[in-house]
Amino acid sequence: MSRPTITTHLDTSATPAWLMNKVRTIADRAAAGNLRACPHLATTPTRCAAAWAPDHIACPTCFPLLDPQGAEDNTCDRCRREVDTLNLNLAFCGPLLYAYGLCDFCMTTIDLEAP
């Protein structure tokens, strides 16, 4: 993956709907107790999650353990196409740092609804 693009979404009304839906899924799973969490979350205000690991949440130190595996490492998290190169993106949505990879096409149409 390339160097990350960091987007801060303090006002989540500016967050693209397709991305906000992914973040809400993480929040819903957390509320239902359906996330695997690292043991350090109680000691940090920042939570980290990734599109390629929708059942996990981690502290910033454990976040690298959520590396994408297999084909997921080359699959766009917006359009789900497998590509040669993804662009890593990081979005802050409140206390959550959310990572996702986008293909070149989706990088240029990030604000549109996912196809």
Please tell me the total count of domains within the chain.
1
- Identify the domain containing residue 26 by its residue range: 5-108
**Residue 115, in any domain of the structure:** no
More confident residue, 7 or 20: 20
Strand segments, DSSP code E, in 2-113 are 5-9, 36-37, 47-50, 53-58, 87-93, 96-102
Choice between 48 and 18, residue whose per-residue pLDDT is larger: 48
- Least confident range from 8-12, 23-27, 65-69: namely 8-12
Task: Please compute the mean of the pLDDT values over residues 83-95 and round it to a whole number.
Answer: 86
**What is the band of 27 on the pLDDT scale with cuts at 50, 70, 90?**
confident
Look at residue 5 in the predicted model and tell me its pLDDT. 46
Is 113 part of any domain? no
Domain presence at residue 55 = yes
Q: Is residue 30 part of a domain?
A: yes
114 three-state secondary structure: coil
Confidence band for 1, pLDDT divided at 50, 70 and 90: very low
Q: Is residue 25 part of a domain?
A: yes
Q: Tell me if 54 sits within 8 A of 79, measured CB to CB.
A: no
Between the alpha carbon of residue 110 and those of residues 11, 28, 38, 69, 80, the distances in Å are 17, 23, 30, 24, 14
Q: Decide if 37 is inside a domain.
A: yes
pLDDT tens for 41-69 read 888 888 899 998 988 999 999 998 888 87
